[in-house]
Amino acid sequence: MVKRFDKKIVLVTGAASGIGRATALAFAAEGAQLVLCDVDVAAVGETTAMARELGAPAEFIRCDVARASDCEAMVARAVDAFGGWMWHSTMPGSTSLRRPLGTSKKWNGSASSPPISQGSFTA
Ligand SMILES: NC(=O)c1ccc[n+]([C@@H]2O[C@H](COP(=O)([O-])OP(=O)(O)OC[C@H]3O[C@@H](n4cnc5c(N)ncnc54)[C@H](O)[C@@H]3O)[C@@H](O)[C@H]2O)c1
**What does the pLDDT look like over 33-81, one tens digit per residue?**
999 999 999 999 999 999 999 999 999 999 999 999 999 999 999 999 9
* 12-21, 27-36, 88-97: range with lowest mean pLDDT: 88-97
**Please, are residues 5 and 33 in contact by the beta-carbon 8 Å criterion?**
no
**14 CA distance to ligand 1 middle (Å):** 6
User: In terms of pLDDT, which residue wins out, 12 or 85?
Assistant: 12
pLDDT at 87: 81
Contacts of 95 (CB under 8 A, 6+ apart): none
Pocket of ligand 1 (CB under 6 A): 13-14, 16-20, 38-40, 63-66, 91-93, 123
The model carries a pTM of 0.83
Has residue 111 got a pLDDT over 60? Answer: no
Question: In this structure, is the dihedral angle defined by the CA atoms of residues 19, 74, 33 and 119, taken in order, positive or negative?
Answer: positive
DSSP 7: T
pLDDT at 43: 98
**2 CA distance to ligand 1 middle (Å):** 30
Q: Whose CA is closest to atom 32 on ligand 1?
A: 64
**116 CA distance to ligand 1 middle (Å):** 24
Residue range 81-96: mean pLDDT, rounded: 72
All domains of the chain in start order, with CATH:
9-122 (3.40.50.720)
38-61 burial: b if 16+ Cβ within 10 Å, else e: bbeeebbebbbebbeebebbbbbb
Q: What angle do CA 34, 39, 43 make, to 5 degrees?
A: 65
Mutate to test the pocket of ligand 1, among 17, 91, 96 (most ligand atoms within 8 A of CB): 91
pLDDT at 117: 55
